[in-house]
Structure 1
Amino acid sequence: MKGLIEQDKIIQTNNNISESILSLARLSDSIFAFAMALMVIAFDLPEDAKAMTDGDINAFLFSQVKPLGTYVITFILVATYWISHSRQLKYLRRTNETHLWISVGYLMVLFLVPLSNDLVMTFPDNFLVKVWFSLNIAVIGFVSWISWSYATGDRKLVDSDLDEATIRSMKTKALIEPICALISIGVAYLNQELWDYFWVLLFFAYSPLEKYFNKSAELV
């Protein structure tokens, strides 16, 4: 009888842990979805839209090309972080209060992205705005790295037999965006126009960078 009671307690504990991870996943998905949706609010129609001529409308549409590019880049960056966050959650088997607070901090910084996106679209030629955007993206990645490092330290929150190669690979992937974001600040300092193209280049270079750093992690 005592053994059955102990077994019931273990099952109940595991169920509570699983429910906590599921709740974290649901909260994360909601925040990511809301942040992505909010970014489109930065697009504003002219106040006198009904009085605009075809020429005015065409000029307005062409003026939105650069803000649209900023929106696409930011959306892809957030989507990349969502994929990375989902990968981490897949390996979690339990959580604790410290990890939950790290996750809350991660989501808090992530939710600043719509503001950063709005600032860049409103003040595209301001250096400090671009620094703010880059730092926002960088901090998200570094907090993600901290979260994964904490979860895998001594295998606290993951399977005890999770291989070291997977742990290193996930840590490496978590650092790609934040390191590139910090580099972009130097690019903006040298030439603000190049800052915009840097993020476009990163979009195409991300997959090769990921493969390169994965191979480097395997050699360690």
Structure 2
Amino acid sequence: MARDAAFEAHHQRYDDWFEHHQAAYHSELLALRAFVPWSGDGLEIGVGSGRFAGPLGVQVGVDPSPAMLEYAARRGIEAVEGVAEHLPFPAGRFDHVLVVTTICFVDSPAAMVAEACRVLRPGGRLVIGFIDRDSPLGEDYEAHQDESVFYRDATFHSAGEVGRFVEEGGFRVAAWGQTLARLPTQTREIEPLRSGHGEGGFVVVSAIRGA
């Protein structure tokens, strides 16, 4: 996982975003909740401050930022320093892996998916939440990318691209979900999860690891 310097330097600003955009945050949480298993050993790649792993019951989180990991640890997560393309865990360690927005910050999404496949047990589940580049939200993020301390170095992906990363990495796509038809600053109420992709800015793909 590269491009983490901004998160290390501005960790408090990052964590505060969730307090200032609670309707958008809870819309994303509910969308992910529909796909993240309730039981089993879970890992979040790019755990950040633990805003997703904590409420979703994911026990272990990996991130390159020590400052972010301090927040995650305070939220009850086993916080491990490491990068997405070289996970510091043995093969077959987890039942499910969660990735939230991290895919736009890694040097190689394909390598991240391959590592997720490696650390999952056969039949394990990979859940990726991301900003769909082709959505109105994704287009707005790209248009104002240089203005964001966090997203200026990001590489946004379309749902089609993410689907290909997943399928080429040893997974079978099981379901798609989407939320956030508006910008986070314009979201005043929690939006329900809808199936598929193409309208919502925050998209979730759920996939099963092959044998």
TM-score range, shorter chain: under 0.3
Higher Rg of the two aligned structures = 1
Relative to total residues, which structure has the larger helix share, 1 or 2?
1
How does the TM-score come out when normalised to structure 1? 0.24
Relative to total residues, which structure has the larger strand share, 1 or 2?
2
How does the TM-score come out when normalised to structure 2? 0.25
